Amino acid sequence: MEDYKSRFIEYLLTTQALKGNGDFSLKSKRLSPWFVNIGDFNDGHSLRELGRFYAYSILGATANSKIDILYGIPEKGNMLVAATSIGLAERGENVPCFFTRKVPKEYGEATNLAPAERIKALVVGRAPINGQSIIQLDDVFTAGDAKYEARATLESLGNFDLPVLAIAVDRQEVGIDGKSAIEEYERKTGTRVSSIVSASDIYQYMKEHPDAPFNLERMTNYMRVYGTDAARRTVGKLEQKVIEIDRSIIPACDVATMDQFEEIAKQTADIEKIGALKVGFELGLTYGLPLVVQMAREHTNKLIIYDHQKAGTDITDTGKNFARVCKKAGVDGVIFFPQSGPETERAWIYHALDQGLKVIVGGWMTHPAYSVSEGGFVADEGILEMFRIAARIGVNDFVVPGNKLEAIKKIKDVVEAEGSTPVFYAPGFVAQGGNISEAAKVVGGRFHGIVGRAITECGNVRQAALEYTSQL
């Protein structure tokens, strides 16, 4: 990392403009554990320092091209452009600057102008000249709306070369569509976006300075969920192993009473190939999830996986509270069917990881007429996108319909194409017509069969559990 980048991060920490111990609402409506507020640089000393850092970054980004003039994108760029011009002058580069008014000036020097000079109605500072190379400045890059608008304004003033857009911090996030807004801007405009530092730079700095007041683990989870490919490469893959053994049976404990659940917990506690117990809304809403987990802990050390039937179908904001409630109740993992769209999926996965919960993602259900191709409501490609997004984040644990082998094959192909080494959890056996052995052949080595009524409603829970584990 270049020295000026490290010094900038240190300065951000010293001025408390960089915060890494909280929950910060972004313009994108995402809830981030880290935030940089360039607006905190609002006095002479801090603006001077900020201008110097912008100057370092711009000189590095334009080493092989000329800088004729600087342009501050309204409104944050208005102060930045003057500070950066001073910073460049200190480095031996006397570069003029300007910004544009939101409303054209209609008095004084802007009146009675010849057409060629009408740009003075918009420009504050040095008026740009056709053919000049303009370096644009702003504080951050979110969706990019203000950047496209600023570019249109410049193009209305003349013909200019726009090689670089300089920002303070690149958060390296994808948009709702899963694409990097910066990469899309660069592709569409040909302008390079250069930042003083990126999220990856901050991550690397914090790894090397563990005593800094910054929660690196939370930032890591956030970057895995919302980060670009480059950001995810920086933090590495999600290391999550839900069940230690590669194959097991998971009783689906959708029973009406605590006595029934207690019997299942007791009778399966010492069966090695029982990988976990899955509990749902019936027990959770009837008795309270904390009491359900507490009772299970008295009899078994098996993992407790909570399946809300179906979690991930609400707005993004509820993901935080859902994860907090599950963590407080003591469950080990959660199952999501994120049918409310990509932002809900990312938010719920992030908040679950943030709470230390293990995440399992599904999308294709076992009953007839679920997907459009089966006569249902949910588009097949939309279902596959749920799995695709989870796999990109680094989730490797997926619920698939054990009675729909063709669907399993499609899901397997999709997640493996994203670099996942999948572990599959499959319901849909016995009562719903699926065959454990056949499903296991399709999914491969790592497979956990979810069996409900065939275990919970038989006369002998233990005997049934042993029978189905033998089919693995």
SS3 track for the chain: CCHHHHHHHHHHHHCCCEEECCCEECCCCCEECCEECHHHCCCHHHHHHHHHHHHHHHHHHCCCCCCCEEEECCCCHHHHHHHHHHHHHHCCCCCCEEEECCCCCCCHHHCCCCHHHHHHHCEEECCCCCCCEEEEECCECCCCHHHHHHHHHHHHHCCCEEEEEEEEEECCEECCCCCEHHHHHHHHHCCEEEEEEEHHHHHHHHHHCCCCCECHHHHHHHHHHHECHHHHHHHCCCCCCCCCCCEEEEEEECCCCHHHHHHHHHHHCCCCCECEEEECHHHHHHHCHHHHHHHHHCCCCCEEEEEEEEECCCCCCHHHHHHHHHHHHCCCEEEECCCCCHHHHHHHHHHHHHCCCEEEECCCCCCCCCEHHHCCCECHHHHHHHHHHHHHHCCCEEECCCCCHHHHHHHHHHHHHCCCCCEEEECCEHHHCECHHHHHHHHCCCEEEEECHHHHCCCCHHHHHHHHHCCC
Are residues 349 and 336 in contact, defined by beta-carbon separation less than 8 angstroms?
Answer: yes
Report d(CA 221, CA 355) in Å as an integer: 10
Q: Would you state the structure tokens that stand for residue 181, as one six-digit string?
A: 């807004």
β 35-36/18-19 pair status: antiparallel
The gap from C-alpha 217 to its chain's centroid, in whole angstroms, comes to 14
- Structural domain spans, the chain: 3-235, 247-469
Residue-level pLDDT at 451: 94
Coil, helix or strand at residue 247: strand
Residue-level pLDDT at 66: 84
CATH of 3-235, one of 3.30.70.1350, 3.40.50.1000, 3.90.76.10, 3.40.50.2020: 3.40.50.2020
Q: Would you state the structure tokens that stand for residue 400, as one six-digit string?
A: 């698939």
Report d(CA 198, CA 171) in Å as an integer: 6
Neighbours of 377 (CB within 10 A): 10
Report d(CA 102, CA 186) in Å as an integer: 25
Residue-level pLDDT at 35: 96
φ, ψ of residue 155 to 5 degrees: the values are: -65, -25
Residue-level pLDDT at 111: 52
Contacts of 79 (CB under 8 A, 6+ apart): 42, 47, 72
Domain 247-469 CATH superfamily:
Aldolase class I (3.20.20.70)
What is the DSSP-derived secondary structure letter of residue 371?
B
Cα separation values, 374 from 7, 365, 398, Å: 58, 11, 21
What is the DSSP-derived secondary structure letter of residue 174?
B
pLDDT one digit per residue (tens) for the chain, 472 residues: 889 999 999 999 999 999 999 999 998 899 999 999 998 999 999 999 999 999 999 999 998 788 999 999 998 899 999 999 999 999 999 999 999 987 665 545 555 555 456 677 889 999 999 999 999 999 998 888 889 999 999 998 999 999 999 999 999 999 999 999 999 999 999 999 999 999 999 999 999 999 999 999 999 999 999 999 999 999 999 989 999 999 999 999 999 999 999 999 999 999 999 999 999 999 999 999 999 999 999 999 999 999 998 899 999 999 999 999 999 999 999 999 999 999 999 999 999 999 999 999 999 999 999 999 999 999 999 999 999 999 999 999 999 998 999 999 999 999 999 999 999 999 877 666 677 778 778 888 899 999 999 999 888 999 999 999 998 8
Are residues 424 and 387 in contact, defined by beta-carbon separation less than 8 angstroms?
Answer: no
Query: What are residue 161's DSSP bridge partners?
Result: 133
Strands (E), 119-271: 123-125, 133-137, 161-170, 192-198, 247-253
Residue-level pLDDT at 115: 42
Are residues 137 and 81 in contact, defined by beta-carbon separation less than 8 angstroms?
Answer: yes
Which of 238, 276, 234 shows the shortest CA–CA distance to 422? Answer: 238
Report d(CA 56, CA 5) in Å as an integer: 9
Report d(CA 182, CA 386) in Å as an integer: 24
Strands (E), 207-285: 247-253, 276-279
